[in-house]
Chains A and B, each alone.
Chain A
Amino acid sequence: MFKRIDLLIILIMLATSSAYAAQYKNIGRTATEDEIASWDIDVRPDFKGLPAGEGSVEDGEVIWEAKCASCHGTFGESNEVFTPIIGGITEADIASGHVAGLVGNKQPQKTTIMKVATLSTLWDYIHRAMPWTAPKSLSKNEVFAVTAYLLNLARIIPDDFVLTDKNIQDVQKLMPNRNGMTLEHGLRTVNGKPDVKSKACMQNCETLDRITSVFPDSARNSHGNIQLQNRTFGAVRGVDTSLPAATTLEESISRYKNSSLSNENDAVSSAELEMQTLAKNNNCLGCHGVKEKLIGPGFNEIAAKYKTDKNANTMLVKRVKQGTSGNWGDMAMPPQTSVSDADAKTLVNWILKGN
């Protein structure tokens, strides 16, 4: 009897201590099927995860012109905002599955279609991340259509093609660089075999004894004045790259002793800098220059054009928010839904003030 009670106590103690062990009680909960469906959107190279649907080249062209061309160009060829998607492949590549232009750097600018081996990648990425300012806003059929249009621009499928979840496996067999990937390398895992087995020579080691490449003098100030990118005290100073290189140590020493090493002389005022930062943070400066035309008009051009227009302010705020086209050429400006009303007003005011 006595022993039994002891045993019982031991059992109770064991049960208590086991609560500290492996199971994390009351942490997390089971995901619902709807939750998984909402987030589990990835599509694998074998098309696991691809939903049913279809889209034509014809429909794709309409969507492309409205939502994609402003960044990627009408033919997906643009190098203005992002690197080009289309170009650089041949019929022979489609037949072989190896893009010949990749060998020996015959084509310095590699397009997406030259590189990508898996059609699933295009579908997955357009679906999860495009368009740039409104990701995940395309319907599944729209994603099929845009994908079809891209493949048509690359001359992989004909003008009257309708891409579907049923025929996508067949189109995969036409991807121009489908055989262009290799897993034969040592950089996949921590124990992989390195490419190079260098030796740590310590004395009288063999060297080329000449410099093969230098940072050009002409680019000296290309990243701004390096002096202002270093501390104003300590073991070294930043070189004043607004000046040509000093020729002697004495000249260098006199330069750093006489330099104010301050940011005070920066040309841009803080108020102006604040506005430019606001424009940058709202992603305006990818397409508009403050003082020059990029893809869209420069802010200076906009200010000049609407100088006398009393309604310009309200009109431009609306154009920013809702998008616009035809005022400055062919390229449409997509709706900037992520820009707040307050920011849009502040920015338009600043732009119209002229800079």
Chain B
Amino acid sequence: MVDDFNKIGRILPAPENFLDAELTREITNNGLNLERRGFLLKSFMAASAALAGGVALTAKAGVTGDPNILSLPAHSKTLGKPVAANPYGVPSKYEANLMRRESPGLTRVSAASVSFAPLQGLFGIITPSGLHFERHHQGWHDIDPTTHRFMINGLVKNPKIYTMDDLMRLPSVSRMHFIECGANTAMEWGNVAVPTVQYTHGMLSCSEFTGVPLSVLLDDCGYDKKSAKFVLAEGSDGSSMTRTIPIDQALDDVIVAWGMNGEMLRPENGYPLRLVVPGVQGVSWVKWLRRIEVGDKPYATKDEAVHYIDLMPDGQYRQYTSIQECKSVITSPSAGQMLLDKGFYNITGLAWSGRGKVKRVDVSVDGGKNWKTARLESPILPKCLTRFNINWVWDGSPAILQSRAIDETGYVQPKINELREVRGTRSVYHNNAIQSWKLTASGELTNVQTY
């Protein structure tokens, strides 16, 4: 299956050999003299004239090849645009197909909805900030950072107010972490429901976040080390989103962040301040963060008492489910895509774990009967996306592509039936099952379930 590819791609003969092979060899061996230089110049001018005349002329001259090479494009023959023509750069106009998209019918109100990141077309592990998935509970705002305030109160010696000026003077850290909504892949608990990886797994993004560790701020306020058991994080938007975080976690690697991928957070991602809670579902990464309260009991807020609770088959709801367990998905080729021909492909995808680093990813092309270990690309960081790749030659027969990640705790990404045995089919949240893409002989991939 792997490493036995026959050909690298379909290469058409290029038309660059306007010098014959013998002359080329001689020039290589003996260098250029004046006579030869004159001959070359004539050849070159003849070739240029032919190119200027377009494809038909080249054919007449007996030259064959790709008109994109034979006939120089405008960008090779005209002056380009100046620097700072786009003072804030934007993607090429040819990239307009890759954008955040809503899943029709998922929600009725776009201010309390989701837009999914186009994982099918992304490379490496960093999500471009403009393509980071969105989840808002009561719409988003672009908040004036000079008016934004951050409060710490509750079980602290000195309840404090920080401005952005204050926070950004403090010693900061920059760390790369994934953020995944607890409801990512939720629509697939019972059966296949959506067409592509953008909708099955697109509530997933990964960025470098910069901010001050929450532990620094809690220390600065003199939190009560004896009684503090939890903190409550609260946003400043209309929903004033609130989530409970255990104190051990809050002191471990949680960041009060303003930076994302080298610039400030985007408004849709919490500008100017959000909480980063590595390994934990996105709902706890409270955006437009205004307050941390230190307490001794959990808060049972709306998003931990009505939503983001996991229904078990016995009718009990699991409360305060948070950790995003080890998971992976092949992003290309994936459902909704088609292969261009038989031959070589790089199967590529993402793996991650809320409990640490990804240790290994295996890939199957026969629906889980046989597996080969994929290459993990660096960096491999804890609670961060890891890119995997594996070589594959498609022989034209039907296949079922799957990936399976293993994290440093030894936890193996489960099959959907294994999850369902414990949690049933109505759990909504925390579906980290192995994903299957079916490839038909026509080259088209679709979303299927098998185990």
Name A's B-contacting residues (CB within 8 A): 22, 24, 27-31, 35-36, 39-42, 44-46, 48, 80-82, 98-100, 102-105, 110, 112, 115-118, 120-121, 124-125, 128-129, 132, 135-136, 177, 180-192, 194-205, 207-215, 219-220, 222-224, 226, 228-239, 241, 245-249, 251-253, 256, 263, 280, 283, 285-286
Contacts and interface: CB of A to CB of B under 8 A. Distances in A.
Given A120-B300, A238-B338, 6 more contacts: A45-B297, A103-B315, A105-B424, A187-B322, A207-B451, A252-B443
Contact of A231 (B121, B441, B445): B121
Nearest to A71: B109
Interface string B59-97: 000000000000000000000000000000000001111
Contacts of A283: 109-111, 139
A42 B304 CA distance: 13
B232 to A, nearest CB: 6
A280 to B, nearest CB: 6
B438 to A, nearest CB: 7
B332 A235 contact: yes
A349 B36 CA distance: 74
A36 B323 contact: no
A136 B449 CA distance: 45
Contact of B97 (A177, A231, A245, A246): A231
B97 A232 contact: yes
B240 A135 contact: yes
A42 B323 CA distance: 24
A27 B220 contact: yes
B386 interface: no
Contacts of A124: 242, 301-302
B377 interface: no
B192 A213 contact: yes
Interface in B211-242: 216, 219-220, 232, 234, 238-240, 242
Contact of A121 (B110, B170, B302, B338): B302
B292 to A, nearest CB: 11
Contacts of A195: 419, 422-423
A139 B272 CA distance: 29
13 contacts: A46-B297, A129-B240, A135-B239, A194-B325, A195-B419, A219-B195, A223-B104, A229-B336, A230-B97, A245-B442, A246-B442, A246-B443, A253-B443
Contact of A125 (B111, B192, B301, B336): B301
A42 B301 contact: yes
Contacts of A241: 195, 336
Contacts of B96: 263
Given A35-B151, A215-B446, A223-B194, A189 B138 contact: no
B338 A256 contact: yes
Contact of B300 (A45, A129, A189, A256): A45
Interface in B394-414: 396, 400, 404, 406, 411-414
Interface of B: 94-98, 101, 103-105, 108-112, 118, 120-121, 137-139, 151, 153-154, 158-163, 166, 169-170, 191-196, 198-199, 216, 219-220, 232, 234, 238-240, 242, 246, 248-249, 252, 279, 290-291, 293, 295, 297-302, 305-306, 309-323, 325, 332-333, 335-342, 345-346, 354-355, 360, 362, 367-372, 396, 400, 404, 406, 411-415, 417-419, 421-426, 430, 436, 438, 440-451
The 8 closest A-B pairs by CB, nearest first: A103-B315, A102-B315, A226-B336, A135-B238, A187-B321, A125-B302, A286-B109, A213-B191
Nearest to A247: B442
B239 A230 contact: no
Contacts of B443: 246, 249, 252-253
Contacts of A102: 311, 315-317
B196 A226 contact: yes
A133 B372 CA distance: 53
B302 A182 contact: no
A251 B440 CA distance: 13
Tell me the dominant secondary structure on chain A's binding face.
Answer: loop
Contact of A232 (B94, B337, B406, B411): B94
Given A208-B450, A249-B443, A183 B320 contact: yes
A283 B355 CA distance: 38
Given A183-B319, A194-B411, A230-B121, A286 B111 contact: yes
Contacts of B311: 102, 110
A36 B159 contact: yes
Contacts of A120: 300
A57 B451 CA distance: 52
Given A121-B301, A236-B333, A280 B110 contact: yes
A215 B442 contact: no
B438 A211 contact: yes
Given A135-B239, A228-B97, A238 B279 contact: no
B315 A285 contact: no
B341 A249 contact: yes
Contacts of A222: 104-105, 195
A117 B300 contact: yes
A29 B120 CA distance: 47
A230 B337 contact: yes
Contacts of A286: 108-111
Contact of B249 (A35, A44, A189): A189
Nearest to B199: A223
B33 to A, nearest CB: 44
B306 A28 contact: no
A44 B299 contact: yes
